[in-house]
Amino acid sequence: MFIVNSYALAVIFCFITMMCWGSWGNTQKLAAKSWRYELFYWDYVIGMLLFSLVICFTMGSFGPQGRPFLEDLCQADAGNVWSVILGGVIFNASNILLSASTSIAGMSVAFPLGVGLSLVLGVIINYLGAPKGDPVILFTGVALIVVAIICNGIASGRMQKGKTAKDSSQNRKGLMLAVAAGVLMSFFYRFVAKAMDLGNFEHPAAGMLTPYTAIFVFSAGVVLSNFVFNSLVMRYPFTGERVHGSEYFRGSFKTHLTGMLGGAVWCLGTAFSYIASGQAGAAISYALGQGAPMIAAVWGVFIWKEFRGADKNTAALLSVMFLFFVAGLAFIIISGGN
């Protein structure tokens, strides 16, 4: 299987993770023109599972290093498998909430708030579980990102001035969903990381998982839990009318493919994060990947025009947000070299 053997390459993989995690929401925006997010999400998890198999039977099965995917899967300890499945279940619950928040408040609000909050909490959780890197520099970077999140929240609040009470109420609901998603999302990575032998991917301990087996088991956990979580959300939606399962089969091939592409993009980023965690450590790998709000905010501001009509002060806040995000990510990268 393919193994990252240098910190520099691990950072590159983490940046790809950040791009993927911050960009998959575009597929939801594209599908939303004619498709409820609850229906989109079925295609999203299917795409995630299918792409995990592609990665497992390519990068995870060829090369002289480590155990190939099927061999690793067969020897996996049941406790480690259940730990990764639990990580998938937690992630799925949080991501459904994030998708709901995106559909209500937009990418440039939901991602910086929800994913940014999960970054802060998740780094603490993952660092305590597997300490790696200079903690002072690492948490300085996290603090800078907190400032960026606050700037985004203030900018969002300024955009709500002058809107109707109904619009403001919907936006508050979107913000609350983003916060709930962020808290939940901060926990999923730790359950996956503890099932992998982060210190030795080439010769992992018996019963522990390689990153490739982990991404497949994780994706399976997401799909299985979706029958519970998404079915409930369809029956009791956060916004709009109840969604019926039969509506899924009325979607066009293009619409279904868009959702699957979103799942594949997220899966690629997650797999690269797991692969990089051996060199970068769980906390740093997670933190760099969760720089995704900056990418999502770029899409939301410049492509989807979610802050169209913003005044100069709001535009200045957005500029400060981007600066602090970049500075925070720089500190996180430097912390891994110490």
Instruction: Return the number of other C-beta atoms located less than 10 Å from residue 170's C-beta.
Output: 17
User: What percent of the chain is predicted at pLDDT more than 70?
Assistant: 95
Buried b (16+ CB within 10 A) or exposed e, 10-45: bbebbbbbbbbbbbbbbbbbbbeeebbbbbbbbbbb
pLDDT on residue 194 = 94
**Over the stretch 124-146, which tens digit does the pLDDT of each residue have?**
898 988 888 899 999 999 899 88
Is a pLDDT exceeding 80 seen at residue 291? no
Per the model's pLDDT, the better-predicted residue between 160 and 330 turns out to be 330
Domain extents in the chain: 7-335
pLDDT on residue 17 = 94
Instruction: Specify whether the CB–CB gap between 34 and 247 falls below 8 A.
Output: no
Q: How many alpha carbons lie under 13 Å from residue 301 in its C-beta half-sphere? A: 23
Residue with the two structure tokens 């492509």: 303
Is a pLDDT exceeding 90 seen at residue 80? yes
Q: Confidence band (pLDDT; 50, 70, 90) for 103?
A: confident
Q: Confidence band (pLDDT; 50, 70, 90) for 8?
A: very high
Q: What is the mean pLDDT of residues 81-100?
A: 93
Rounded to two decimals, the pTM is 0.86
